Structure formats: C-alpha cells, structure tokens
Structure 1
C-alpha cells in the first residue's frame, strides 16, 4: 500500500498516573536510537521487540528519538507498548510501507507535545525519507523546545538536499532545537558540514561510534543542538544493546540556558 507523502500517524497521551515532569529549564536526558525494525542485530525476518524495548528503559531518558520503527499490520505494536510501559507521550510519522507494516520515525517524551508535524524529505524515487518534528511543552515555565527525529538518505547528494530542507523549515527558525537521528554519516560531506555549521557540537572531541553495534566503528547516529547545551553524549554500550539492534543508542544530557 503506497503512500504519496509521509504523514503523522498517531499521538498517544501518556498514562494518567504519570507524574508531572520537572520544568524543561531544569534540563533533561535525551537519546536517539535506530531500532532496526525490532529485528535485533541480525535483521532479516527476526522479530525481537522486547530486546530494544528493554534497552530503551535502560537509557532512563526523558526524550527518545527513534528511527526504523515498524508498526506491524498484525496489530502487535511495540511502540505503543513501550510508550505505555514508560509512561511517555508518543508521536509517530509513517515514512513508507514495509511488507510487514508501517515504517517510520517516532519521539517518546515525558513532556507533552505542544505540536507535532511530519516533514517530507523525499527527493527522487529511490528512498522515501521523512522527519518528525515536535515541540515540547513544560508546565508553566513557557519554554518550548523542538525535537526533530530523522533518518537521512544513503546517497551523499540526496542527504545534502535533505539537510538544506530541514534547516529551512520553521522548526529551525531560531528556537532551541535538537536534531536527532541516523544521519548515515559514513564520511564528512556537505551535509555533515552544513549541520556542523548550524548547530553547536556536543562537548566530546569526536562523535561516538554507534554502528555496527557488536563492534562500533562508524558514527552514523548524531545529535545536534542549537540554543541548548548537549553534554556527555555517548553510545550506550551494554550486552543487551549489542544484540537489540545493529545500532547502539546515543544518550546525553541537555542543559537549557
């Protein structure tokens, strides 16, 4: 079942009993994770959502950006289950149809969403790509922070066009923003240079390697911050995370102001 453009599929409120999160101005813990269609490190027809769901809980993050999220046609929905188990708000954007279900990007958040939007990043016919952009709302402090979860293309030229389209979007209009996801940054090119020029790098000297998970050598997954301080960004490398996906999650601390 083809789709002409990516679309926002669902917004799910956190369970009523969830405690009020602290103000965004207190800072929060953020993560990005390519869950590899819940197929574990081996991929293919494997279906092991409990592994990645367990790793997501290990992260103890307040906001998690997810990529390669599969929502199966058969009604099993690890994404919704994970959101409910962790007491988090959920937004999901469908990028394309996989033979087993909807495939796309998601954001889980302890903070409610002030808004959510799908951004089409498809250029050409080979790869359907998108970003999910949400604005977080926090109590009465009036702070608004944008979180953008994306999975960029494999081809350098397409990826450069995607970065340009992202940075021209209103979510990147000067408000505090975190761009999180699988940037497919195999090597430094105009796309990565454009992001580096826009955003403030994390405090590490190098991007942490996140792929392949069993022995990471490439920093495909990235976190870019603008108007925020992103501290202690590192790959979450445990026995479980090495088996749950072919990517390791990245996790760090965001300091506001």
Structure 2
C-alpha cells in the first residue's frame, strides 16, 4: 500500500538573495540518510523515500545507508528501485559487504554520469565500520562537467576517523581543482566541530543557516550538509530541511544552488 507523505519546510529553512545579472546552471541537491529503507515504524518503506525525492524534484541526490541485495531488504536493490520511480541515473558505492549484498552510499542524477568511483575512507577506531564516498562526474547542459560526492562519515564520539576521512576527501578535491564539486551527506558532526571547520576552509556550506536534522521525529542535532567547491563559482539560492518524520530517522536537506 502506498502512503501519502505531506512535506513541510522547517521554519529554520533559509533563502538567499539572488545575485544581480548572474547567469549559470541552477542545480537542486538533496542529501538524505535513508536508514537502509527502514522507516521509523520499523518497516521497509522504499516508497516513502521515493515520495520525498519526487516531491522535492532534485537534480542530484546523495543517499547514505543504502542497501543493495541484502537479506534485510529482501534482496532488493534500493537504488534500482528508486531509479525505476524517478527515471534518474544511479551509482552505488559499496562501503562493505553485508547480509549477502552490499551497504554504502548512493547517487541519483538527472544528468548523465560520465565517470564513477568509490573512495575508501579510513576507519581505525574501536567499533568503527568501513566507510566510503561515492563520487561521480556528471555532464551538465552545455557539456560542462561537475563532480558530485555522497558520503557518510564515522559515527564514533572520537573525531579522529572523521578528521582523517575529511582529509582524504580533500585530496580527491584537489586532484582536479579546476572542476566544480559538491559533497553532500551525513557527516556525523555538529556545525562547531573541527571536521565541519575543515570542510568550510575549502567549501561553501550551502546548509549553513539550517537547523537540526536528526532524529527525524524531534531533531536536536545537525548532521547533514551540502558543501560546494570552488567557493567563488557558486551562489546559494535557497536551502531547506524537509519536515519528513517517518520515512527515515534523518530528515533530508535540500539546497538550490547556482553554478556561475
């Protein structure tokens, strides 16, 4: 049975003044930790995730906690299920084997995917689990290229692994500094943390003015972000936390940005 999800915007959503006489490509980016398709009622509900995506109509989607053919999702490939509903291109970056399938990060794109890569991230802390970043290069209208990364950083209280993971991501950013890049995902870090501070040395934070995103029923922690590189190439038009309380334990964030 399909259920209707009503989407609202938190009062902490932010709009930004449009730059005068600036032309470029407008891109809408959604970041969403989908909790392997399990909703807050403990039920597998990929349609709930699809409803959020369809309602927000993004161009690029960064998904975290994505299952591919695992037992707990009845061997479904969650990205392929979402692609069938949305008509978008997909890439799955597997972080680890799990229950006969894979678990990691996913990307949905309205733009053709030219290249794809899974970036292994260090995870050495006691109780840590394998982490990665899914990275694609997409072709925008006019044939310009954009890199897009979906990632999920370490969850431990000790920030050591997260700091190492951010540094690895920075190395990949600077490997092709001329290309614009968006990193979106669940960073498992608060805005005042060293990890987010490292990102903001190089990236503009499209979600800087937004409020908390986790847990979805009564959010108290901001963990989900959209970062933009190179800062001078971007203008943030708007950013929102979507008030969806059931489909996942995180609320999604969406940013509409202008690539100049």
- Between the aligned partners of 1:110 and 1:171, the Cα distance in structure 2 is 25
Aligned position for 1:147: 148
Residue in 1 that maps onto 2:11: none
What is the SS of the residue equivalent to 2:103? Answer: strand
Any conservation in 2 of the 1:133–1:171 contact (CA below 8 Å)? no
Q: Cα 1:172–1:234, aligned 2, differ >3 Å: closer, same or farther?
A: farther
**Distance in structure 2 (CA, Å) of the matches to 1:213 and 1:144:** 34
1:232 aligns with 2:238: yes
2:223 to 205, 220, 223: 220
Moved more, 193-202 or 164-173: 164-173
Shift of 1:235: 0.6
Partner of 2:170: 167
Matched length:
227
Shift of 1:194: 0.4
> CA separation of 1:187/1:255 partners in 2, compared to 1, >3 Å: closer, same or farther?
closer
- Counterpart in the other structure of 1:248: 251
Quote the residue 2:35 is aligned against: 36
| d(CA) in 1 for partners of 2:46, 2:101 | 14
CA change 1:194–1:25 in 2 (3 A) is same
CA 103–256 in structure 1, closer or farther in 2 if over 3 Å, else same: same
Unaligned runs of 5+ in 2: 1-22
Distance 1:39 1:184 in 2: 19
CA offset digits 1:54-96 (Å, max 9, x no partner): 1121111111110001123443223202112211100001111
1:18 alignment partner in structure 2: none
**Equivalent position to 2:202, from 194, 198, 205:** 198
Secondary structure at the aligned position of 2:136 is classed as strand
Q: For 1:31 and 1:151, how far apart are their aligned partners in 2?
A: 14
Partners of 1:135 and 1:57 in 2: how far apart?
Answer: 23
Are 1:27 and 2:26 matched, yes or no? yes
CA offsets, 1:29-58, max 9 Å, x none?
110000001111245xx3222211211211
Q: Is the 8 A contact 1:146 1:171 kept in 2?
A: no
- Match of residue 107 from structure 1: 107
Rounded Cα–Cα distance in structure 2 between residues aligned with 1:196 and 1:170:
13
Q: TM-score, normalization: structure 2? A: 0.81
Question: Which shifted more, 32-41 or 48-57?
Answer: 48-57
Gaps of 5+ in 1: 1-23
Displacement, 1:191? 1.3
Q: Distance in 1 between matches of 2:245 and 2:110?
A: 26
Q: CA deviation at 1:120?
A: 0.4
Distance verdict in 2 for CA 1:66–1:138, change over 3 Å: same
Distance 2:183 2:136 in 1: 11
User: What TM-score do the two structures reach when normalised by structure 1?
Assistant: 0.82
